[in-house]
Amino acid sequence: MLSCSALAAVETQQLGPYSVSFDMKTDMKYQMQNRTVENPLATSYIMQIITDNNTRAQVTITDYKNLTDATLAMYKTLFAMDLAMIGINVTEIADITIDDDKKGLLISGRPFPQNTAVPSDLTLYRAMYWLDSIDWELAPLSAGKTSMDIASTYPQNVTDGLLSSIRVVPAESPAK
């Protein structure tokens, strides 16, 4: 687990076999913690950016062992349902370009009035894209092996800074 304090600047973190850089464009103090989760289907490399209990972001790179459905339209539906299940009312679903030129999606929402487990003024943002998706020519489908999932409860301007600046590349192997 890595933990460090940071202020507005370009951050670069090693996350598994990837180098992740971003600039949240904020003076808010935050700490970063990294961890890896493995299961029979995939390995996820997770970076948490934490200011306090209600202000955080999580960047997750998932390497699937086999090709996986990377169709963004399907994930828009799944993420909207997932957020509703945890008490978040989806207020916006948008297509975005992220990590220079990759197609992605961004969903945002606020707690349902009856959801008292989180502050009523919280906005949750969730973005997703694939590092390696390939579109099929004969159908509106895509497949890939490496997905990016970013969730944030930071204010919109800080989340926008993260999403507009994030870059993920395979890390260089150390020289032997």
Query: 102-111 and 124-130 as β-strands: parallel, antiparallel, unpaired?
Result: antiparallel
Chain segment 49-81, per-residue pLDDT in tens: 999 888 999 999 999 999 999 999 999 999 999
Average of per-residue pLDDT values in the chain? 91
Q: How many domains does the chain contain in total?
A: 1
Chain segment 137-168, per-residue pLDDT in tens: 777 789 999 999 999 999 999 999 999 999 99
Domain that holds residue 74: 5-170
In a domain, 175, yes or no: no
Closest CA to 21 of 35, 36, 6: 6
DSSP 119: -
Question: What pLDDT does residue 2 have?
Answer: 43
In a domain, 130, yes or no: yes
pTM over 0.85: yes
In a domain, 176, yes or no: no
CB-based contacts of 111, cutoff 8 Å, min separation 6: 87, 88, 89, 117, 118, 119, 120, 122
Model confidence band, residue 118 (pLDDT cutoffs 50, 70, 90)? confident
